[in-house]
Amino acid sequence: MSLIVKKFGGSSVANAQRVFNVANIIIEDFKKGHDVITVVSAQGDTTDDLIDKALEINPDGASKREMDVLLSAGEQISISLLAMAIEKLGYPVISLLGWQAGFNTDSHHGFSRIKTLNTERLKNEIGKHKIVIVAGFQGINRYDDITTLGRGGSDTSAVAIAAAMKADLCQIYTDVDGVYSADPRKVDTAKKWDEITYDEMLELAALGAQVLNNRSVEMAKKYNVELEVLSSLERKPGTIVKENIKMEKTLIRGVAKDTNVTRISVIGLEDTPGVAFKLFNKLAQAKVNVDTILQSVGRDGTKDITFTVPSDQCKTAKEALESATNILTYKEISSNEKIAKVSIVGAGMESNPGVAAKMFEALYDAGININMISTSEIKISVLIDVDYADKAVKAVHDAFLG
């Protein structure tokens, strides 16, 4: 007998028929004698719809505390409906809100971190041999106010329970059947992996391959919780995410693109010490997430610094720099939103030279110009014109995995 933690995303519980489908998946394992704790997200687009309702009331943005009260309601609906379905099918079940399940968080409304998970109630209900259904994405702070963990936070709720309860298995059910080497809707030769490492998953998620929430993978890595990503609509094995996997011959685990990228160039900066510090410090104070950075070689006493930011932070970044003219002198700032980042990820590239050259060759053959390049131990990224992003993904994918 094992303890299994399952998590179902919003699409898996979108309507009554799907709720019963999930109930049956849970009951199947319960009937085998396993203890099952299930975390669910809000049904379908509920969370987005709730956000729209809030904007109707206050287009300037409601307070974060009240947003948490509102958004947590989505999960309250889905846990009760799922519990009702299991009841109807004749099995013992109880639904619990985040606070009832012991989720204590900090007070960062809208993006709270779990501080502790008090497992007493969970253990109690499991002890009574009940199927436990827990509302994902939510907790309570030390003032007894409802908090939420940030969009997609239910994955993190599930991993936290699996870690704290020392579960034997943590299964994340979604509408795709695993982790692929590229978006299977766009690249027909995309491969599904049996296994992938936490680090590879983190890099792929950061690049927009949103199968799992990033925080959940970080937590799984920290507490060594093995995850399985699988489909709730088909009964077949998915992809296991864990620390070490048997290395296959493939160097590359995935090709991903991110189109939420804007390039900002600060032209004609003074070529003196401390300029990069002042510039990026200003951006850090404005909470801008800077990604790739390139500094030109100084010439005639001036230099240029180019960097990328998520497109929705471009305005903030420019304003921060424009308000810094007392400490920074430069000629002009320009920006380009029509940029995409295409990256390859693979733990295998660390020990294999020539991976970068192969990627650049594939882009050259496809006639695609590279603007900027950045690398990390297990990732190589290029910035290109956004119109070529899909073509680039396909060309690079074919070169390594075609």
Question: DSSP letter string over 26-54?
Answer: HHHHHHTT-EEEEEE--STTHHHHHHHHH
Residue among 8, 99, 103, 137 that touches ligand ASP (CB under 6 A): 137
Beta bridge partners of 174: 231
Spatial separation of the C-alpha atoms in residues 288 and 292, rounded to whole Å:
13
Which pair of tokens denotes residue 27?
Answer: 């009951």
**CB-side exposure of 224: number of CA atoms within 13 Å?**
2
By the rule CB under 5 A, 44 interacts with Mg ion? no
Q: What, of ligand ASP, Mg ion, none, does residue 154 touch, CB below 5 to 8 Å by kind?
A: ligand ASP
Q: Which of residues 194-233 bind ligand ASP (CB under 6 A)?
A: none
Residue among 74, 98, 139, 238 that touches ligand ASP (CB under 6 A): 74
Q: What, of Mg ion, ligand ASP, none, does residue 151 touch, CB below 5 to 8 Å by kind?
A: ligand ASP
Residue among 44, 102, 153, 346 that touches ligand ASP (CB under 6 A): 153
Residue nearest to ligand ASP (CB): 154
By the rule CB under 6 A, 38 interacts with ligand ASP? no
SS3 string, 120-145, reads HHHHHHHHCCCEEEEECCEEECCCCC
Cβ closer to ligand ASP: 110 or 298? Answer: 110
Residue among 154, 174, 308, 343 that touches ligand ASP (CB under 6 A): 154
Q: Residues binding ligand ASP: what is the number (CB under 6 A)?
A: 11
Q: What, of Mg ion, ligand ASP, none, does residue 153 touch, CB below 5 to 8 Å by kind?
A: ligand ASP
Write down the least CB distance from residue 311 to ligand ASP, Å: 20
Name the CA dihedral angle for 284, 286, 291, 296, rounded to a multiple of 10 degrees. -80
Which pair of tokens denotes residue 140?
Answer: 């309570």
Cβ closer to ligand ASP: 112 or 381? Answer: 112
By the rule CB under 5 A, 41 interacts with Mg ion? yes
By the rule CB under 6 A, 47 interacts with ligand ASP? yes
Cβ closer to ligand ASP: 206 or 286? Answer: 206
Cβ–Cβ under 8 Å, residues 292 and 383 = yes
Q: What, of ligand ASP, Mg ion, none, does residue 98 touch, CB below 5 to 8 Å by kind?
A: none
Q: How far are the Cα atoms of 269, 278, 296, 316, 328 from residue 274, in angstroms, in the given order?
A: 11, 6, 15, 22, 10
By the rule CB under 5 A, 78 interacts with Mg ion? no
Which pair of tokens denotes residue 97?
Answer: 């809100």
Cβ closer to ligand ASP: 154 or 262? Answer: 154
Cβ closer to ligand ASP: 51 or 286? Answer: 51
By the rule CB under 6 A, 10 interacts with ligand ASP? yes
Spatial separation of the C-alpha atoms in residues 312 and 225, rounded to whole Å:
33
Residue among 11, 12, 38, 41 that touches ligand ASP (CB under 6 A): 41
Cβ closer to ligand ASP: 75 or 258? Answer: 75
Cβ–Cβ under 8 Å, residues 101 and 40 = no
Cβ–Cβ under 8 Å, residues 387 and 338 = yes
Write down the least CB distance from residue 41 to Mg ion, Å: 4
Q: What, of Mg ion, ligand ASP, none, does residue 136 touch, CB below 5 to 8 Å by kind?
A: ligand ASP
Cβ–Cβ under 8 Å, residues 132 and 36 = yes
Closest to 95 in 3D by CA, of 133, 129, 40: 133
By the rule CB under 5 A, 11 interacts with Mg ion? no
DSSP type of residue 10 = G
Q: Report the SS3 class of residue 172.
A: strand
By the rule CB under 5 A, 10 interacts with Mg ion? yes
Q: Is the dihedral of CA 295, 298, 301, 302 positive or negative?
A: negative
By the rule CB under 6 A, 64 interacts with ligand ASP? no
Q: How far are the Cα atoms of 93, 163, 223 from residue 167, in angstroms, in the given order?
A: 19, 7, 11
By the rule CB under 5 A, 74 interacts with Mg ion? no
Q: Which of residues 221-250 bind Mg ion (CB under 5 A)?
A: none
Cβ closer to ligand ASP: 47 or 343? Answer: 47
Q: Which residues bind ligand ASP (CB under 6 A)?
A: 10, 41-42, 47, 74, 136-137, 151-154
Q: Which residues bind Mg ion (CB under 5 A)?
A: 10, 41, 47
